[in-house]
Amino acid sequence: MNITITNRQGKHLAVYVEGLEHAPTIVFSNSLGTDHKMWQSQVEQLKAKFKVVTYDTRGHGESAVIANSTLQNLGEDVIDILDALKIEKAHFCGISMGGQTALYLGVFHPSRFQSITVANSAAKIWTVEGWNARAEVVEKNGLADLVVSTHTRWFSEKFDYQHDALAQQTIQSLANTPAQGYANACRALANADLREQISSISIPTLIIAGSADPVTTVADGEFMQQKIQGSDLFVIDASHLSNIEQPAEFTQALQRFIEAIS
């Protein structure tokens, strides 16, 4: 089921629902420069047991480009989606930018979630200067240069991304992302720093890191595990988009974690 919801800012968000209506809900949140389709493997594996919600983060896919976006806005969009779908509580899994959204929700909206999974992410990703500079370049020149080199950040050298249909589709989603939507998300990430707050997270938390991830490292995952009491760290032999490079292992780890809670 594809629906459009209106968030608290009056802007539209594209939301997709599959699976069992009255089963536990898992919400998936995409990475920077991708869309909801990056979760295709997880949706196919999990929809037989769960209600599965994916969405296009603001400025990505079919969701509206919204100026002056912050990490708080990204988190509040998720709450607006839950409210629109009349979902009281859900499990939330986000990767990279979506992983920071997961952390924000764990800190500020724990009552709405049974668990969070933070995949290939960090409490603080990169630098303010780096993100702002990238935003300016993308606004000026578009995303073409990033598309050419993105496989070196998203996938490890041993992953045959050229012959993987989902990997190719995901790279194409970067090419299709509105440049302004990407730049706005860069600025949201520039100002996102939860290193001091995540120690307050008390709901079940799974941290997934890629052993070959050059963007958000295993050390970032270890830092979060040390800060979040009772959290689990699972390391996958993959780079930044571990759910695409190692879909079966990623999904199995997530399902085991959720079913242990439920």
Mean pLDDT (the chain, rounded):
97
Asked if pLDDT for residue 122 goes beyond 70, the answer is: yes
- The pLDDT of 175-191, averaged and rounded, is 98
> Which residues span the domain enclosing 70?
2-261
Residue 125: is its pLDDT beyond 90?
yes
pLDDT in tens, 145-172: 999 999 999 999 999 999 999 999 999 9
Identify the pLDDT of residue 262: 66
- Written in H, E and C, the secondary structure of the chain is CEEEEECCCCCEEEEEEEECCCCCEEEEECCCCCCHHHHHHHHHHHCCCCEEEEECCCCCCCCCCCCCCCHHHHHHHHHHHHHHCCCCCEEEEEECHHHHHHHHHHHHCHHHEEEEEEECCCCCCCCHHHHHHHHHHHHHHCCHHHHHHHHHHHCCCCCCHHHCHHHHHHHHHHHHCCHHHHHHHHHHHHCCCCCCCHHHCCCCEEEEEECCCCCCCHHHHHHHHHHCCCCEEEEECCCCCHHHHCHHHHHHHHHHHHHHHC
Query: How many domains would you assign to the chain?
Result: 1
What single letter denotes the amino acid at residue 13? Answer: L
CATH code of 42's domain: 3.40.50.1820
Give the tens place of pLDDT for each residue, 96-117.
999 999 999 999 999 999 999 9
Mean pLDDT in residue range 105-132: 98
